[in-house]
Protein backbone atom coordinates (compact mmCIF):
# COMPACT_ATOMS: atom_id res chain seq x y z
CA UNK A 1 0.00 0.00 0.00
CA UNK A 2 2.87 2.34 0.84
CA UNK A 3 4.42 1.76 -2.61
CA UNK A 4 1.09 2.50 -4.31
CA UNK A 5 0.73 5.76 -2.39
CA UNK A 6 4.31 6.75 -3.19
CA UNK A 7 3.81 5.95 -6.89
CA UNK A 8 0.55 7.92 -6.98
CA UNK A 9 2.10 10.95 -5.31
CA UNK A 10 5.07 10.80 -7.67
CA UNK A 11 2.74 10.67 -10.69
CA UNK A 12 0.75 13.66 -9.45
CA UNK A 13 3.92 15.61 -8.73
CA UNK A 14 5.28 14.84 -12.19
CA UNK A 15 2.01 15.82 -13.88
CA UNK A 16 2.11 19.22 -12.21
CA UNK A 17 5.82 19.83 -12.55
CA UNK A 18 6.71 23.08 -14.36
CA UNK A 19 8.43 21.31 -17.26
CA UNK A 20 5.41 19.09 -18.02
CA UNK A 21 2.88 21.89 -17.61
CA UNK A 22 4.94 24.37 -19.66
CA UNK A 23 4.91 22.09 -22.67
CA UNK A 24 1.16 22.60 -23.09
CA UNK A 25 1.10 26.30 -22.19
CA UNK A 26 1.59 29.46 -24.22
CA UNK A 27 1.92 33.14 -23.43
CA UNK A 28 2.78 36.35 -25.29
CA UNK A 29 6.47 35.91 -24.42
CA UNK A 30 6.84 33.24 -27.12
CA UNK A 31 6.13 34.64 -30.62
CA UNK A 32 7.55 31.50 -32.25
CA UNK A 33 5.05 29.21 -30.56
CA UNK A 34 2.19 31.55 -31.48
CA UNK A 35 3.42 31.71 -35.09
CA UNK A 36 3.61 27.90 -35.18
CA UNK A 37 -0.04 27.70 -34.05
CA UNK A 38 -1.10 30.22 -36.71
CA UNK A 39 0.86 28.28 -39.32
CA UNK A 40 -1.52 25.36 -38.79
CA UNK A 41 -4.38 27.31 -40.44
CA UNK A 42 -2.87 30.27 -42.31
CA UNK A 43 -0.38 30.90 -45.10
CA UNK A 44 2.87 32.88 -45.35
CA UNK A 45 3.36 33.11 -41.57
CA UNK A 46 6.36 35.28 -40.70
CA UNK A 47 7.74 36.71 -37.49
CA UNK A 48 8.88 40.30 -37.93
CA UNK A 49 9.38 43.38 -35.77
CA UNK A 50 7.23 46.50 -35.61
CA UNK A 51 8.66 50.03 -35.71
CA UNK A 52 9.45 49.83 -31.97
CA UNK A 53 11.22 46.49 -32.32
CA UNK A 54 8.42 44.47 -30.70
CA UNK A 55 7.44 41.14 -32.26
CA UNK A 56 4.89 41.16 -35.07
CA UNK A 57 3.47 38.15 -36.89
CA UNK A 58 2.21 38.58 -40.44
CA UNK A 59 0.20 35.97 -42.31
CA UNK A 60 -2.50 35.44 -44.92
CA UNK A 61 -5.91 34.01 -44.18
CA UNK A 62 -8.69 33.90 -46.77
CA UNK A 63 -6.38 35.81 -49.12
CA UNK A 64 -6.33 38.77 -46.71
CA UNK A 65 -3.12 39.98 -45.07
CA UNK A 66 -3.35 39.67 -41.29
CA UNK A 67 -1.23 40.84 -38.38
CA UNK A 68 -0.73 39.76 -34.81
CA UNK A 69 0.78 42.67 -32.89
CA UNK A 70 2.40 42.16 -29.49
CA UNK A 71 1.76 44.68 -26.69
CA UNK A 72 3.09 45.38 -23.22
CA UNK A 73 6.59 44.28 -24.20
CA UNK A 74 9.62 45.20 -22.12
CA UNK A 75 12.72 45.79 -24.22
CA UNK A 76 11.01 44.03 -27.14
CA UNK A 77 10.49 40.84 -25.08
CA UNK A 78 8.26 39.50 -22.36
CA UNK A 79 5.10 40.78 -24.03
CA UNK A 80 1.78 40.65 -22.23
CA UNK A 81 -0.92 40.65 -24.89
CA UNK A 82 -1.70 40.17 -28.56
CA UNK A 83 -3.96 41.89 -31.02
CA UNK A 84 -5.18 40.14 -34.14
CA UNK A 85 -5.70 42.73 -36.90
CA UNK A 86 -7.38 42.24 -40.27
CA UNK A 87 -7.74 45.09 -42.79
CA UNK A 88 -10.39 44.72 -45.50
CA UNK A 89 -11.07 46.91 -48.51
CA UNK A 90 -14.49 48.47 -48.11
CA UNK A 91 -16.74 47.56 -51.02
CA UNK A 92 -18.93 50.55 -50.15
CA UNK A 93 -21.43 48.42 -48.24
CA UNK A 94 -19.80 48.91 -44.85
CA UNK A 95 -20.79 52.07 -43.04
CA UNK A 96 -20.50 53.29 -39.47
CA UNK A 97 -24.01 51.94 -38.93
CA UNK A 98 -23.10 48.44 -40.15
CA UNK A 99 -19.92 48.52 -38.05
CA UNK A 100 -22.00 49.52 -35.02
CA UNK A 101 -24.44 46.66 -35.70
CA UNK A 102 -21.51 44.24 -35.93
CA UNK A 103 -20.07 45.49 -32.63
CA UNK A 104 -23.45 45.24 -30.92
CA UNK A 105 -24.02 41.67 -32.05
CA UNK A 106 -20.49 40.23 -31.90
CA UNK A 107 -18.74 39.71 -28.64
CA UNK A 108 -15.08 39.04 -29.34
CA UNK A 109 -14.09 40.67 -32.63
CA UNK A 110 -14.71 44.37 -33.13
CA UNK A 111 -14.95 46.28 -36.37
CA UNK A 112 -14.42 49.90 -37.33
CA UNK A 113 -13.73 51.98 -40.41
CA UNK A 114 -10.26 53.47 -40.70
CA UNK A 115 -9.34 56.94 -42.02
CA UNK A 116 -9.61 55.63 -45.61
CA UNK A 117 -13.06 54.17 -44.88
CA UNK A 118 -11.71 50.62 -45.09
CA UNK A 119 -12.82 47.96 -42.64
CA UNK A 120 -10.54 47.04 -39.74
CA UNK A 121 -11.27 44.03 -37.58
CA UNK A 122 -9.47 43.48 -34.29
CA UNK A 123 -9.42 41.02 -31.42
CA UNK A 124 -7.37 41.45 -28.24
CA UNK A 125 -5.97 38.47 -26.35
CA UNK A 126 -4.54 38.87 -22.84
CA UNK A 127 -1.65 36.44 -22.46
CA UNK A 128 0.24 37.98 -19.57
CA UNK A 129 0.05 34.62 -17.84
CA UNK A 130 0.40 31.34 -19.67
CA UNK A 131 -2.76 29.62 -20.84
CA UNK A 132 -3.25 26.12 -22.20
CA UNK A 133 -2.28 25.94 -25.87
CA UNK A 134 -5.71 24.48 -26.62
CA UNK A 135 -7.32 27.63 -25.22
CA UNK A 136 -5.33 29.80 -27.64
CA UNK A 137 -6.35 27.48 -30.49
CA UNK A 138 -9.98 28.09 -29.51
CA UNK A 139 -9.39 31.86 -29.51
CA UNK A 140 -7.86 31.56 -32.97
CA UNK A 141 -10.91 29.61 -34.16
CA UNK A 142 -13.10 32.47 -32.93
CA UNK A 143 -10.99 34.82 -35.07
CA UNK A 144 -11.29 32.56 -38.11
CA UNK A 145 -15.06 32.11 -37.76
CA UNK A 146 -15.57 35.85 -37.31
CA UNK A 147 -13.57 36.65 -40.45
CA UNK A 148 -15.47 34.02 -42.38
CA UNK A 149 -18.79 35.46 -41.18
CA UNK A 150 -17.71 38.91 -42.31
CA UNK A 151 -16.49 37.59 -45.69
CA UNK A 152 -19.84 35.87 -46.30
CA UNK A 153 -22.31 38.37 -44.84
CA UNK A 154 -20.37 41.57 -44.25
CA UNK A 155 -21.42 43.36 -41.10
CA UNK A 156 -25.11 42.78 -41.77
CA UNK A 157 -25.47 39.68 -39.60
Structural domain boundaries in the chain: 25-153
pLDDT, tens only, 8-48 = 445 545 445 554 455 699 999 999 999 999 999 999 999 99
| pLDDT at residue number 153 | 76
Predicted pLDDT at 8: 45
Instruction: Kindly report, residue by residue over 50-101, the tens digit of the pLDDT.
Output: 999 999 999 999 999 999 999 999 999 999 999 999 999 998 899 999 999 9
The fold for domain 25-153 equals Yope Regulator; Chain: A, (3.30.1460)
Coil, helix or strand at residue 20: helix
User: Distance between CA atoms of 19 and 55, rounded to whole angstroms?
Assistant: 25
pLDDT digits (tens, 9 = 90+) for 93-145: 999 999 999 999 999 999 999 999 999 999 999 999 999 999 999 999 999 99
Give the Å distances, CA to CA, from 139 to 27, 34, 35, 50, 144. 13, 12, 14, 23, 9
Alpha-carbon separation of residue 61 from 29, 44, 96, 132 (angstroms): 23, 9, 25, 24
Q: What is the pLDDT of residue 95?
A: 93
Amino acid sequence: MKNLLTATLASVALAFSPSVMAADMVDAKNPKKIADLIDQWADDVQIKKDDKGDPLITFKYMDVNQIVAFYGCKQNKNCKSLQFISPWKNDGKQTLQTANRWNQSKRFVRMYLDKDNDVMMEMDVDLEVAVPTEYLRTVMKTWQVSLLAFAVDGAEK
